[in-house]
């Protein structure tokens, strides 16, 4: 039986550095349509079992989608995973070609599962949501500058920029709602999610765009994916402090803000929060527990296509 082939691709703005194992072949192509065509031709000749690349702020999207459309299994890795793998191997040098070989070695050794990218509507929703998040960050920075500025001209300029950014935020909010309304499946899921007390448009849109697996996973897996499952830190007879870590940070951040509201207005979560605090749990620990409970219930609601008032069992 012939040995399986694994490919690592180091992505940069201008080019893709490619390493193939076990043959050891290394080459580079431009990050252009012609370069992607050349890449697909070269990889079709070796029929890789898996191609891996790092997430690089969206620069990897074109290559990932081209590989997926060509039927080549591909996995996009968190850079932290690759960094830890490199340290475990004792590798400290870094160039694009070295990184490509390292990624191929990662694929060959650990064989992470191939990923299936979302459809066009889900990717468009994710792009709009990312842009909205950028505008909100800009608004926060400009408002902080306005608060500290004492020069009248600068203050007027900041107020004009803030007014413009607020308009752009409103436009993006409308574009997000339009995108949801144009997709019947997204519209149905959005209605289910927002039927929950404490779940507003931002959390519902974030879950639609960045947690499309919602409703198809077990409660343990969906909690791990969002990074709200407590992780053990035990050794021998010592029991370490449980904490949440990893997962999809954007989902966890929005879920936290939703839980802050939900423990006031959602009867089930308010009861749970108050009970945990009465037992002596720190308020932040109780809030994290409510984040996980809220996500588990939302996962069950999407799975069962049930509105909140029916209170689905996790």
Looking at the fold, whether 130 and 174 belong to one and the same domain comes out as: yes
Residue whose pair of structure tokens reads 């690349």 in the numeric block? 53
Looking at the fold, whether 26 and 93 belong to one and the same domain comes out as: yes
Q: What is the pLDDT of residue 294?
A: 95
Looking at the fold, whether 28 and 44 belong to one and the same domain comes out as: yes
- What are the pLDDT digits (tens) for 214-239? 999 899 999 988 888 765 555 555 55
Looking at the fold, whether 314 and 193 belong to one and the same domain comes out as: yes
Our count of domains for the chain comes to 3
Looking at the fold, whether 246 and 261 belong to one and the same domain comes out as: yes
Last residue of a domain, one of 160, 182, 204: 182
Q: What is the pLDDT of residue 314?
A: 46
Can you give the residue range of the structural domain that contains 49? 6-110
CA 213 to chain centre: 11
Looking at the fold, whether 246 and 192 belong to one and the same domain comes out as: yes
Looking at the fold, whether 170 and 191 belong to one and the same domain comes out as: no
Q: What is the pLDDT of residue 63?
A: 94
pLDDT at 162 over 90: yes
In this prediction, residues 156-185 reach a mean pLDDT of: 95
pLDDT at 169 over 80: yes
Establish if 312 belongs to a structural domain.
yes
Looking at the fold, whether 124 and 91 belong to one and the same domain comes out as: no
**Which stretch of 128-142, 239-253, 266-280 has the lowest confidence by average pLDDT?**
239-253
pLDDT at 176 over 50: yes
Looking at the fold, whether 190 and 82 belong to one and the same domain comes out as: no
- The rounded mean pLDDT for the chain is 89
- What are the pLDDT digits (tens) for 256-302? 999 999 999 899 999 999 999 999 999 999 999 999 999 999 999 99
**Which stretch of 58-72, 107-121, 144-158 has the lowest confidence by average pLDDT?**
107-121
Q: Residue 27 has which token pair?
A: 């080459």
Q: How far apart are CA 177 and CA 180, in angstroms?
A: 5
- What are the pLDDT digits (tens) for 114-123? 887 777 888 8
């Amino acid at each position: 039986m012939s040995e399986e082939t694994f490919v690592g691709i180091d992505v940069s703005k201008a080019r893709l550095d490619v390493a193939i194992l076990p043959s050891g072949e290394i080459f580079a192509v431009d990050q252009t349509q012609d370069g992607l065509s050349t890449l697909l031709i070269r990889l079709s000749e070796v029929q890789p079992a898996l191609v891996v690349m790092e997430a690089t702020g969206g620069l990897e999207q074109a290559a990932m989608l081209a590989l997926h459309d060509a039927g080549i299994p591909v996995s996009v890795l968190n850079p932290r995973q690759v960094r830890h793998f490199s340290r475990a191997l004792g590798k400290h040098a870094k160039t694009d070609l070295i990184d490509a070989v390292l990624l191929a070695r990662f694929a060959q050794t650990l064989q992470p599962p191939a990923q299936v990218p979302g459809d066009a509507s889900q990717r468009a929703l994710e792009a709009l949501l990312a842009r909205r998040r950028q505008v909100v960050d800009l608004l926060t920075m400009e408002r902080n500058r306005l608060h500290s500025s004492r020069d009248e001209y600068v203050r007027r300029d900041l107020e004009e920029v803030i007014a413009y950014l607020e308009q752009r935020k409103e436009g993006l909010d409308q574009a997000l709602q339009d995108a949801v309304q144009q997709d019947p499946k997204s519209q149905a899921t959005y209605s289910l999610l927002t039927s929950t007390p404490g779940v507003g448009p931002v959390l519902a849109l974030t879950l639609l765009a960045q947690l499309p697996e919602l409703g198809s996973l077990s409660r343990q897996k969906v909690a791990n994916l969002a990074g709200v499952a407590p992780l053990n830190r035990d050794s021998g007879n010592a029991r370490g402090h449980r904490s949440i870590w990893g997962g999809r940070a954007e989902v966890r951040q929005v879920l936290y803000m939703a839980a802050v509201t939900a423990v006031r207005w959602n009867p089930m979560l308010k009861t749970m929060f108050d009970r945990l605090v009465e037992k002596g749990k720190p308020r932040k620990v109780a809030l994290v527990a409510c984040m996980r409970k809220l996500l588990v219930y939302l996962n069950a609601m999407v799975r069962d296509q049930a509105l909140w008032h029916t209170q689905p069992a996790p």
